[in-house]
Amino acid sequence: MIGTGVRNGGGMTRDAIRLRRVVRTFGAGDATVTALHDLSLSFAAGTFTAVMGPSGSGKSTLLQCAAGLDRPTSGSVLLGDTDLTSLSETRLTRLRRDRIGFVFQAFNLLPTLSAEQNVALPLRLAGRRPARAEVRDTLARVGLSDRAHHRPHEMSGGQQQRVAIARALITRPEVLFGDEPTGALDSMAGRQVLRLLRGMVDDDGQTIVMVTHDPVAASWADRVVFLTDGRVDGELDDPSAEAVVARMTRLEDAPC
C-alpha cells in the first residue's frame, strides 16, 4: 500500500498522510449512506497521487476526510504524527491553515480581494503580516506576477485556479489536496495547472493528492488510486492516460 516516489528518485520514503480504517456514513436509520467503507490508504511524501472512481465512489469524501475538512464516522487520519480526528474544530482549522493546502474545483477565492490579498489571506488569518516578497514569490511560482492587483472576476478560470494554488502554497503545506482542480477549466488551462502541480512535486518534493475524473489529468500523477463504493479498487503506478481509461471503463461497467 505504500506508494513509491518513482520520479522522486526512490530511497527512503515517509508517509505524509495515512488513513486508517476510515468509515464515513451520511444520514441515519434506513437512509444511511456509507461513503467510505473501512478504507485504509497512505500517501508518501513527495509524491503526486490521483484518486479516481465513478460518481458516488466516495473520492471527494476521502479527500475531505484526509484534508480535515470533514470528520470520519470512525477510523483515524494521521498527518505526520498528528491524528486529525482527535482535534477540536478550532485546532483543526489552525492545523489546516498551517499544514494543509486545498484547491477546489470552484476556486473559492474571496471576490472582493485582489490576487495578492487572496494569497496572503491564510497568513493574515494566522495573525502574521505577510512579507510582500513572500507573496510576490508565490504568485511568481504560479506565473501570475502581473496579476497581483486583479480581482478574481477580472481573471480567467485558469488564472483564478492558479491564484488558489498560490494561496494553498503560501503556508508551505505538507500536503496539497486538489478536488478536481482542473474540472472547471478548458484543456489548455487545465494542462497549465497540471504542469504547475507536477513541477512542484518534482522540484520541491511537494506531496499532492488530487481527485479527478479526467484520465489525462490523472496521467500526470505518479500513482492513481481507484475507488469503488467507498473501497480501494486497485491502483496504477506511473499511469498513462490510455491505461487509466481502460481501467475506468472496466470499473464503470462492472455490475454493482
Partner 1 sequence: MLTVTLSSLRARWASLAGAFLALGLGVGLIAMMGLGLAATLDAPGQQPERLAGAPVVVRGADELRVPTPAGDRLHLLARPRAVPSAVATALTKLGPTVADRSFPVAAGALGDGLTGHPWSVAGFGGHRLATGHPPRGPAEIALAAGPEQIGRTVEIRTPAGSGRYTVAGTLMPVAYERAVFFTDGTAARLSPAIDNVVVRAAPDAVRAAVRGTDVQVLTGDDRRRADPDPDRDRDALITMNALLGTAGGITAFVSVFVVGSTFAFAVAQRRREIGLLRTAGATPGQVRGAMFAEAVVVGVLASAAGCVLGARAAPWLIRLLVSERLAPPWFAVGEHRWPYHVAFWTGLTVALAGVLVATVRAGRIRPVEALREAAADTTDMTPGRWICGALLLATGLGLLTWRLLNDPGEALHRKTYTTQPMLLITAVALLAPVLAGPIARLIGWLPARLPGATGMLVRENAGAQIRRTAAVAAPVLVTVALAGSLLGATATINQAKATELGTRTAAHLIVQAPAAGLALDPRSVDAVRAVPGTAVMASSTTAVYTLEDGVALTRSEAHAVDSGALPAVRRLPVKAGDLEDLDDDGIVVNEEWAEHTVGEHVEVWLGDGTRRALRIVAVLATGTGSNGVYVTARNAGGARADRLEVAWRSGTDPVAAEAAVRAALKSSGAEVRTRERWLAEQLPAPNRQTRVGYLVVLGIALVYTGIAVAVAMVMATSDRGREVAVLRLAGAIGRQVLLLAAAEALTVVAVGTVLGMLVAGLNLAGIWAALASLSVWAPVVVPWTALAIMPMACAAVALVAALAPTIGTLRSRALDNTR
Q: Which residues sit at the interface with partner 1, rule CB under 8 A? A: 64, 69-70, 89-90, 93-94, 96-97, 102, 104, 106-114, 117, 120-122, 124-129, 151-153, 167
* Interacting residues of 172 by C-beta distance below 8 A, sequence separation 6+: none
Bridge partners for 232 per DSSP: 227
Nearer Cβ to partner 1 (114/182): 114
Nearer Cβ to partner 1 (9/90): 90
Q: DSSP character for 154? A: G
Distance (Å) of CA 178 to CA 154, 207, 214, 250: 23, 11, 13, 25
Q: How far is the CB of 110 from partner 1 (least distance, A)?
A: 6
Nearer Cβ to partner 1 (164/218): 164
Crossing angle of the two packed helices 132-141 and 157-169, in degrees rounded to 10: 130
- Given a contact cutoff of 8 angstroms between Cβ atoms, the answer to whether 135 and 39 are in contact is no
Q: How far is the CB of 132 from partner 1 (least distance, A)?
A: 13
Q: How far is the CB of 38 from partner 1 (least distance, A)?
A: 23
Number of CB atoms found within 10 A of residue 17's CB: 25
Q: How far is the CB of 55 from partner 1 (least distance, A)?
A: 16
Q: How far is the CB of 93 from partner 1 (least distance, A)?
A: 4
Q: 103 φ, ψ to 5°?
A: -120, 130
Q: How far is the CB of 90 from partner 1 (least distance, A)?
A: 5
* C-alpha cell recorded at residue 132: 510582500
- C-alpha to C-alpha distance for 9 and 183, rounded to whole angstroms: 30
Nearer Cβ to partner 1 (147/167): 167
* Interacting residues of 92 by C-beta distance below 8 A, sequence separation 6+: 68, 84
Nearer Cβ to partner 1 (198/213): 213
- C-alpha to C-alpha distance for 182 and 184, rounded to whole angstroms: 6
